[in-house]
Chain A
Amino acid sequence: GENVEQHPSTLSVQEGDSAVIKCTYSDSASNYFPWYKQELGKRPQLIIDIRSNVGEKKDQRIAVTLNKTAKHFSLHITETQPEDSAVYFCAASKYPGTASKLTFGTGTRLQVTL
């Protein structure tokens, strides 16, 4: 089955700096790659997603890049703020037209310090 690896497991940045989280996937048939943010004790919430026919997607301070050849995708957060502190999960899915059975990475705990 699909395997998603995520790095780093923890990341500390100063407010205003950029943060980058990287994920690799094993199944070349995967075609949907969402990123979720989970604050302590809360539900995961989708922050951005990308499909395999697109190489990059941006939404304000957040961007995701996808390299299908290398089978990796990355989350970029610019101008980080304290409210960006949370656990971020990447995921991959490969079932077009059916339920999006997601395989998650193990998460990155991002700490934005003042």
Chain B
Amino acid sequence: DGGITQSPKYLFRKEGQNVTLSCEQNLNHDAMYWYRQDPGQGLRLIYYSQIVNDFQKGDIAEGYSVSREKKESFPLTVTSAQKNPTAFYLCASSILETGGGQQFFGPGTRLTVL
């Protein structure tokens, strides 16, 4: 999982601002995912993508947007419409495999809204 990177590690945002979190992988994985993690909770899926130029909403997509212009990259934008954006954001990638494939996680970005 050293082949998936996220930047920045820490991000501070003022209310009303949009911010974009970067996720890059060199594992040649087709699928990429964004999760949100809050204290004491599990990971919740925001968006996922199986192929370039295509993506689907996860369980908590409101207030977020993504793009998948390259296989290696899957940036997440946290918009001002997200009411409670302070959280730890994790990106993951996997191959497409019958029955589900192992997801490899990036190191995460901790977003704090001031």
Contacts and interface: CB of A to CB of B under 8 A. Distances in A.
A45 B105 contact: yes
Interface in B45-59: 45, 48-50, 58-59
A36 B103 CA distance: 10
B99 A89 contact: no
A93 B102 CA distance: 11
B102 A49 contact: yes
Interface residues of A, number: 32
A99 B33 contact: yes
A100 B100 contact: yes
Contacts of A42: 107
A43 B97 CA distance: 22
A9 B104 CA distance: 24
B43 A51 contact: no
Given A99-B50, A102-B45, A43 B107 contact: yes
A11 to B, nearest CB: 15
Nearest to B51: A99
Interface in A59-114: 89, 91, 93, 95-107
Given A1-B59, A43-B90, A93-B100, A100 B44 contact: no
A45 B107 CA distance: 10
Interface of B: 1, 31, 33, 40-45, 48-50, 58-59, 90, 94, 96-108
13 contacts: A6-B42, A44-B105, A45-B1, A46-B104, A51-B99, A99-B48, A100-B102, A100-B103, A102-B45, A102-B103, A103-B45, A106-B41, A107-B42
Interface of A: 1, 4, 6, 9, 31-32, 34, 36, 42-46, 49, 51-52, 89, 91, 93, 95-107
